[in-house]
Chain A
């Protein structure tokens, strides 16, 4: 083989041994996406072959040497209808199939584990409900649906997991969500795929899929001691949210227990379902959508809480199932403001 440049030879060997046209199928939806991709590839190959065949055959049959005089043909409605309707039909099949997948990928199941992702130039920060923080990596258990809620604190980023065939833009100023269910243990790529400035190509990491047991061990070993909801609770107290949202009958703000997922009527009669995005907006732009029966007196917290802090608050409010918890928070704040302040100081757990 010495007549082939060793460099090229090395490449060829490397390429042939590692040849792959698709990344590993590591999520439940991946084989479904790949099936459609395969279907499309086959249709494309048939279409392309047909075009090439037509061009080559006609070029041979009707080249000037063989056919010196052309026969003028106006066209053929039947033929034209054929190649309008057949591609249209195929494209519509792809449209329906693709849309089914799209709705599947962007509609999380109700029982999904919740994780929060903040994109910033140039790293991914992941917050687990248990209080685990990660940077540029994401640990998930195998065979469990996981829902990600994403936001960016500066420019557009895009959370791309090729092995799971999912991707979602992290947008400044609003939440987006995506979900997946990993099916194969291993370590896979995590990319930022939306151009985000200088170190865009360095904004990469890995997603680690672990068995149930390993995941539990990992959770235990990386815990910060304070869960996301607890962090939110402290923020809730330290930002004096309890002054109004204290669940008492005379409270100036609506009771937040059980509010998540409920349907509120606003002052203008509009109905909204309370979700993560609504809670976020209610903290930052409270006067835009006021619950019926309340005055627009809530101050805005724009610029005072980080995106992680907002996630903590959202997670806290999500888990508020009874009034009891709020009462407790209120009492704790009233009794020991110093203790809360100390907690804020320690380990930087509360991230306002």
Chain B
């Protein structure tokens, strides 16, 4: 199979002596850095750490569900395990995953800036994230929490004796990390673009992160105040959510989902940005219908704020409000469909190669299509009644979050690995890992759709024996999936020392980030570029090569 990879001559090539990694030495130069690229690396290390903790907890869940009885662990322990799995994966992995790592690293470079607008706030964001993460771990070690990630009142406020307050504060703090990241991105994208870099020359990755940032900035504060009220309710009993004092637990549901529904778009939108970049690069073509893809990100962000009640269709809300929210939910599904087809047609008349990022991107397209379409099952209120609160929901959001977002994250990590480290990952084994992940994923989560259709409720430590066969399939798949996630961890670390030297632009990609050395200089650009070309302009790239003009000597 042919490949577009063009690496410099390995016998003479060297990693540039001066780059953001070698610029300074010592642990303090990392811990006190303002460099967006170093902060991205710090974030990458921390979210990987939490991903594997969350993953280990997922492993425990699947092991427990191997048998119908709750025999591996008591029901209480199981409840803590799935709660911590959800909390860690959502707040400490998925929300910051692409924006805080790839976004942090790439957005300033893609728009031709030297850094994000507020480097200190960026660093503060990482410390807040770390504080939130540490507090979550502390809550987990000192007894755990078993509210589920949704903190449902009055269960969380009056009926549990676990570390709800600690965890609530942890998420509160981690929430501010997310707010600051979003704020930084919005200001940077508005104010720091290089001369000539108009909005419609921006790479789609920037657009999708911009849309996600709007959600972070407007949604997260609502979660913050909700958690404050939950903590006050639990500690001193203020009664705002306590039905016995006239408070309304449904109000909590509204406030919580007002954040937590947009939060799923915070998680998926940046991933969609990665897919746009990858598909364009490996089919050597401009993304089909650039502006449609850009605007669909914004449309998702806008509509995403007005669909939260679809989490509450069975909670006794008015039938007529269900009508409105079900309708809006159908509307928000459309931009996702547009994106999928635009990506598919980007391949049309392209010149396609199948390097690892592209394999992950194909995986994303398949799995996200399933995840998105099953979302319509849940958005349609009549079928939602049967399917909600069952494994169908679990399967649906894992298809979107893990099948979609994690695939996109891995696509992005592989795609920009040479830029971040200056070295290539090993291609063959990583292609294998992508395929293993895809197979393992389907084995793990597809049976859960069937379980949900059959009515098996989620969050069950023990279940009727008739559901066992499908659960065994799911657990078996999870083992394969686990291997699929461990492999990249191992070979990526290996490649840090032994990987091939990548050179500035191994993929022959058009983004500004590929026109500078790998790894980049601390200040990114020797001279701020003047942008004249459209995004994904491969002819411009060819002309550049002909003239042998590079921006970095």
Task: Consider the complex of A and B and state whether they touch directly, i.e. have CB atoms less than 8 Å apart.
Answer: yes
Asked if B286 and A200 make an inter-chain contact with CB atoms under 8 angstroms apart, the answer reads no
Query: Contacts A72-B286, A91-B333, A200-B460 known; A102 to B352 CB distance under 8 Å?
Result: no
- Report the separation of the CA atoms of residues A21 and B154 in the bound assembly, to the nearest whole angstrom: 35
- Residues of chain A lying within 8 A (CB to CB) of residue B292: 75, 80
The segment out of A48-56, A124-132, A212-220, A314-322 that lies at the interface is A48-56
- Residues of chain B lying within 8 A (CB to CB) of residue A166: 385-386
Counting CB contacts under 8 A, is B322 at the interface?
yes
- Residues of chain B lying within 8 A (CB to CB) of residue A31: none
Asked if B155 and A155 make an inter-chain contact with CB atoms under 8 angstroms apart, the answer reads yes
Asked if A62 and B455 make an inter-chain contact with CB atoms under 8 angstroms apart, the answer reads no
- Residues of chain A lying within 8 A (CB to CB) of residue B377: 37, 40, 44
- Report the separation of the CA atoms of residues A99 and B381 in the bound assembly, to the nearest whole angstrom: 6
Counting CB contacts under 8 A, is A160 at the interface?
yes
Counting CB contacts under 8 A, is A194 at the interface?
yes
Counting CB contacts under 8 A, is A195 at the interface?
yes
Per a CB cutoff under 8 Å, which of B243, B345, B351, B374 touches A44? B374
Asked if B353 and A64 make an inter-chain contact with CB atoms under 8 angstroms apart, the answer reads yes
Q: How near does chain B come to A131, taking the closest CB pair, in angstroms?
A: 27
Counting CB contacts under 8 A, is A22 at the interface?
yes
Per a CB cutoff under 8 Å, which of A18, A36, A92 touches B382? A36
Counting CB contacts under 8 A, is A108 at the interface?
no
Chain A: residues with Cβ within 8 Å of the partner, total of 93
Residues facing A in B373-396 (CB within 8 A) are: 373-374, 376-377, 379-386, 388-390
Closest residue of chain A to B361, judged by CB? A55
- Report the separation of the CA atoms of residues A33 and B349 in the bound assembly, to the nearest whole angstrom: 43
Asked if A192 and B457 make an inter-chain contact with CB atoms under 8 angstroms apart, the answer reads yes
Q: How near does chain A come to B323, taking the closest CB pair, in angstroms?
A: 6
Counting CB contacts under 8 A, is A254 at the interface?
no
Q: How near does chain A come to B140, taking the closest CB pair, in angstroms?
A: 18
Counting CB contacts under 8 A, is B33 at the interface?
no
Residues facing A in B149-204 (CB within 8 A) are: 150, 152, 154-155, 158-160
Asked if A40 and B383 make an inter-chain contact with CB atoms under 8 angstroms apart, the answer reads yes
Q: How near does chain A come to B363, taking the closest CB pair, in angstroms?
A: 11
- Secondary structure at the B interface, as helix, strand, loop or mixed, is helix
Closest residue of chain B to A172, judged by CB? B243
Closest residue of chain A to B313, judged by CB? A102
The segment out of A81-89, A222-230, A263-271, A291-299 that lies at the interface is A81-89
Per a CB cutoff under 8 Å, which of A54, A176, A195, A197 touches B347? A54
Query: Contacts A98-B383, A105-B382 known; A155 to B457 CB distance under 8 Å?
Result: no
Per a CB cutoff under 8 Å, which of A37, A44, A171, A198 touches B249? A171
Our count of residue pairs bridging A and B at CB distance below 8 angstroms stands at 302
Closest residue of chain A to B343, judged by CB? A55
- Report the separation of the CA atoms of residues A107 and B320 in the bound assembly, to the nearest whole angstrom: 12
Counting CB contacts under 8 A, is A261 at the interface?
no
Counting CB contacts under 8 A, is B75 at the interface?
yes
Asked if B347 and A58 make an inter-chain contact with CB atoms under 8 angstroms apart, the answer reads yes
- Report the separation of the CA atoms of residues A67 and B348 in the bound assembly, to the nearest whole angstrom: 11
Residues facing B in A129-185 (CB within 8 A) are: 154-156, 158, 160, 162-163, 165-169, 171-176
Per a CB cutoff under 8 Å, which of B146, B289, B314, B457 touches A168? B314
Counting CB contacts under 8 A, is B283 at the interface?
yes
Counting CB contacts under 8 A, is B4 at the interface?
yes
Counting CB contacts under 8 A, is A186 at the interface?
no
Query: Contacts A33-B386, A195-B148, A201-B463 known; A64 to B155 CB distance under 8 Å?
Result: no
- Residues of chain A lying within 8 A (CB to CB) of residue B289: 74-76, 80
Q: Mark B274-310, 1 if CB is under 8 A from A, else 0.
A: 0000000001111011111000000000000000000
Per a CB cutoff under 8 Å, which of B248, B286, B373, B539 touches A74? B286
Closest residue of chain B to A106, judged by CB? B319
Per a CB cutoff under 8 Å, which of B159, B337, B370, B466 touches A18? B466
Most chain-B CB neighbours within 10 Å: which of A21, A58, A68?
A58
Asked if A22 and B453 make an inter-chain contact with CB atoms under 8 angstroms apart, the answer reads yes
- Residues of chain B lying within 8 A (CB to CB) of residue A9: none
Asked if A191 and B455 make an inter-chain contact with CB atoms under 8 angstroms apart, the answer reads yes
Closest residue of chain B to A159, judged by CB? B314
Closest residue of chain A to B386, judged by CB? A165
Asked if A79 and B285 make an inter-chain contact with CB atoms under 8 angstroms apart, the answer reads no
- Report the separation of the CA atoms of residues A246 and B345 in the bound assembly, to the nearest whole angstrom: 76
- Report the separation of the CA atoms of residues A334 and B306 in the bound assembly, to the nearest whole angstrom: 58
Q: How near does chain B come to A70, taking the closest CB pair, in angstroms?
A: 4
- Residues of chain B lying within 8 A (CB to CB) of residue A2: none
Per a CB cutoff under 8 Å, which of B283, B319, B453 touches A62? B283
- Report the separation of the CA atoms of residues A162 and B342 in the bound assembly, to the nearest whole angstrom: 38
Closest residue of chain B to A164, judged by CB? B386
Query: Contacts A94-B376, A200-B79, A200-B460 known; A51 to B152 CB distance under 8 Å?
Result: no
Query: Contacts A23-B454, A37-B377, A195-B459 known; A62 to B383 CB distance under 8 Å?
Result: no
Show 28 residue pairs from A and B whose CB-CB distance is below 8 angstroms, ordered by the A residue. Answer: A23-B453, A48-B366, A48-B370, A52-B366, A55-B362, A58-B344, A58-B348, A62-B348, A63-B354, A64-B2, A64-B351, A67-B351, A70-B283, A70-B350, A72-B539, A74-B286, A87-B334, A91-B334, A97-B382, A99-B381, A101-B381, A102-B384, A102-B385, A104-B382, A167-B388, A172-B244, A196-B155, A199-B75
**Known pairs A63-B352, A79-B345, A191-B455 / 10 extra A-B pairs, C-beta < 8 Å:** A43-B373, A48-B370, A58-B348, A62-B351, A64-B353, A70-B350, A80-B342, A83-B341, A84-B338, A99-B326
Counting from the closest, the 8 A-B pairs by CB-CB distance are A162-B455, A101-B382, A98-B380, A173-B243, A75-B289, A58-B347, A102-B381, A193-B389
